[in-house]
Amino acid sequence: MWIDPLSRLIHRHAGQHGPVMLMYHSVSPRNGTPDWPWAVSIQRFRSQLDFLAEAGWATPTMAELVAAPEKWAGRTAVITFDDGYVDNLVAWEELQKRGMRATWFMVSGSIAREPAWPDDGRPAGRLLNAAELRAIQATGMEIGSHTANHVRLTEADDNVLRGELSNSKEVLEDVLGSEISSFAYPYGAWDARSVNAVRAAGYRAACTTRTGWALRDGDACQLRRLTMFNTDTVGSLARKLYFGSNDVSWHTLANHTLKRLRNRARL
């Protein structure tokens, strides 16, 4: 697959700072760049998976990573999907074809329905239903929670906070017949209080949208993730994997390189 030579060069040393997590939302079946920043086209998604496979990235679920972080010392990228759009079924197929895994974070109050939280330009359509979630889980993928109502936890009072976490866990465990141990904070909004509430509700791990190496903070309930946007190419993915950052524009990279050269000149 084609990738610009500079990104390929930069990526050669990727994977030395520990696992990364990638956050996807919608996967568009149409050609071209989707309008919604958090949707990726299926062609781009396919080439991103091909690149991860070709470059030797392991793709465990979030639960697998957290259960034994020492096992994932090499190139490791945990693929995650927030919200559970029905268009993710094609992504699931592509993952299976390549023997890759992923983790889906579901809003339990909107299973099989149109999302009940405010629309921000996302594609129309329902979220995955119970049968689909069971089928996805049966192929080794993980289903996690994303609250009951896609609530911004940092703004919820204590009762709502507790309810959002425990109700969602119960409903999803009922649907799937197994423990739900992973969680993703809606809007990436978290603070010390919500981290404690996540633990108290019985989750083992939770991820934010703060960028960086997943395990950098040494806290399984504050895992960092990189965001995959509509405009991301294989090249920008390769650079994100190396820098552990969403900001991999050529402008940023030029500054980074200049700084390194200057430091070297000083030695």
Q: Which residues bind Zn ion (CB under 5 A)?
A: 82-83, 186
Q: Indicate the residue among 60 and 186 with the shorter CB distance to Zn ion.
A: 186
In the complex, the smallest distance separating the C-beta of residue 9 from Zn ion, rounded to whole angstroms, is 35
Residue written as tokens 């990526």? 11
In the complex, the smallest distance separating the C-beta of residue 121 from Zn ion, rounded to whole angstroms, is 14
* Cα angle 113, 118, 119; round to 5: 80
In the complex, the smallest distance separating the C-beta of residue 150 from Zn ion, rounded to whole angstroms, is 6
Q: Indicate the residue among 186 and 212 with the shorter CB distance to Zn ion.
A: 186
In the complex, the smallest distance separating the C-beta of residue 186 from Zn ion, rounded to whole angstroms, is 5
Q: Indicate the residue among 82 and 142 with the shorter CB distance to Zn ion.
A: 82
Spatial separation of the C-alpha atoms in residues 225 and 244, rounded to whole Å = 9
Q: Indicate the residue among 57 and 82 with the shorter CB distance to Zn ion.
A: 82
Spatial separation of the C-alpha atoms in residues 97 and 135, rounded to whole Å = 15
Q: Indicate the residue among 83 and 132 with the shorter CB distance to Zn ion.
A: 83
In the complex, the smallest distance separating the C-beta of residue 25 from Zn ion, rounded to whole angstroms, is 7
Look up residue 147 and give its amino acid.
Answer: T
| Strand ranges for the chain from DSSP E | 20-24, 26-28, 39-41, 77-83, 103-106, 142-145, 182-184, 205-207, 226-227
Residue nearest to Zn ion (CB): 82
CA 45 to chain centroid: 13
